Structure 1
């Protein structure tokens, strides 16, 4: 193979490798809370949108979402937007909280303005008596915790 063709061939290989690596890195980038909820929890995404809370989950400011199961969300599907906002805003915390950051007895203020109480047990954490079942899903602009039910205020 001529030297010129050899270098051209190597340049093409390098270009292809860079393109593949760039796509892989882009695919590894975490999604926003809103993107994740839209992809994984469409009912929750619809209710958050109806409540006017979706922009908060796509903003740069970090938030923690305590996501109730779909079966629980079905019970509030018919609520008016104002009522949905009151319910769901009490499932969102300003800032990023891992389960381990939530100290026993602490009261955390939700974006809805109410306080939720943390109770740490040996093998799990309760938020106002609702168990965190799927903790610590880190996303681009915050944290998602799957919880066992709706948080009652």
Structure 2
């Protein structure tokens, strides 16, 4: 009887250890899920499909898939609707003005600084007590980091 008890207890202990390890592995996988997005492009496709469609039409998708770091200032869908019937060149010009060369978290955007865009233009940063403006457009959701950059949702189109 003792042998059966010890054998059963040993098996239950083993099952408990395996179960705990499986739970830890699952928790680790869940914690890593946001990092699975390998590029800015994949993140934009997943979270901003209208922007992704316009970036594709403008021919900007290879840039966002590269290893080079960029920051996207993602306008809302309502603002992007005004670009849907524009030429690919016009869309490229406007959207290039929403892509910063380099990876900028919101804390990196210092008050009064100017930052170069992919279009070759410069945007001016204005820091307020509770928010940041880029050329007068408010960042409404900041620091969505991925492998090759970061995305900040903004509440309008930056004028080019």
TM-score range, shorter chain: 0.7 to 0.9
1:148 matched to which residue of 2? 155
CA drift of 1:36 comes to 1.2
8 A contact 2:35–2:146 mirrored in 1: no
Is 2:10 the partner of 1:29? no
Distance 1:27 1:135, change over 3 A: closer
CA drift of 1:33 comes to 1.1
1:119 matched to which residue of 2? 126
1:91 is aligned, of 98, 101, 104, to: 98
User: What's the secondary structure of 2:120's corresponding residue?
Assistant: coil
2:78 matched to which residue of 1? 71
CA drift of 1:29 comes to 3.1
**What TM-score do you get using the length of structure 2 for normalisation?**
0.80
CA drift of 1:30 comes to 3.2
**What TM-score do you get using the length of structure 1 for normalisation?**
0.84
Distance 2:107 2:34 in 1: 25
Greater Rg over alpha carbons, structure: 2
Distance 1:21 1:69 in 2: 33
Is 2:63 the partner of 1:56? yes
CA drift of 1:40 comes to 1.3
For structure 2, list consecutive stretches of 5 or more residues without a partner in the other structure: 5-9
For structure 1, list consecutive stretches of 5 or more residues without a partner in the other structure: none
User: What's the secondary structure of 2:125's corresponding residue?
Assistant: strand
Distance 1:98 1:20, change over 3 A: closer
Please list the CA deviations of residues 20-65 of structure 1 after superposition, one character each: whole Å capped at 9, or x if unmatched: 6896687453312111111111110000010011111111111100
